[in-house]
Amino acid sequence: MQAVFLDRDGVINENRADHVKCWSEFRFLPGAIDAIARLSQTGVRVFVVTNQAIVNRGLVSRETVDGINHRMVREIAARGGCVEAVAYCPHRPDERCYCRKPQPGLLLRLARGHRLRLTDSVVIGDALSDLQAGAAVDCRTVLVLTGRGRDQLPQVGVAHVDRLTVALDLNAAVDLLLGRSAEVA
């Protein structure tokens, strides 16, 4: 396993119906920081890929989203984790861009820029769109049941996403991934 791509809202932090619009609304999910630290400490490269249509909806500026992401990365680093990069799509669904998940544009951009083999990587998300983006580039995928995960589970089953694992949360997903990588090593 070379890299793990994490969705943000619902995987790392609490998913809010009204969106995370400032740092005071950002709440790490229990165990998320420690899970990222464990990945980092085993040499797995960690990236965050997230849809943030709130930018093009005019709810927040790019600078605000960048600030939230920067603070998230700093808090993770303070606890021993390392997020190499955060990539986000600011577009609304109706704009039909290639970077908005379920399209794989964010994954492809990070893979090119960081020389990653996507077939040796994993996408962890709480939505079908996360899994579809990963499957489009032959990543293994993990659906976590935090955020929207429980509600998305029936759709995922119907969509027949290949190379899929389901985990309770990010901590459990990391347990599974590190257990698998230890068996291969």
How much is the pLDDT for 183? 36
What does the buried/exposed string (b/e) look like for 80-111 if buried means 16 or more CB atoms within 10 Å of the residue's CB? Answer: ebebeebbbbbbbeeeeeebbbbbbbbbbebb
* Residue 25 CB neighbours (<10 A): 13
What is the pTM for the complete model shown? Answer: 0.93
| Cα 160 from chain centre | 20
CATH node for 3-184: 3.40.50.1000
List, by residue number, the catalytic residues.
7, 9
58 sits in the region (left: phi over 0; alpha: psi -120 to 50; else beta) called left
State the maximum Cα–Cα separation within the chain, in Å, rounded to a whole number. 47
How much is the pLDDT for 184? 31
Task: Indicate the domain borders of the chain.
Answer: 3-184
The whole-number mean pLDDT for each consecutive block of 10 residues of the chain, a chain of 185 residues, reads 96 96 98 97 97 96 98 98 98 95 97 97 96 95 95 81 88 90 35
- Give the number of residues written for the chain: 185
How much is the pLDDT for 68? 98
51 token code pair: 């849809």
Q: Between vectors from CA 134 to CA 137 and to CA 65, what angle results, nearest 5°?
A: 120
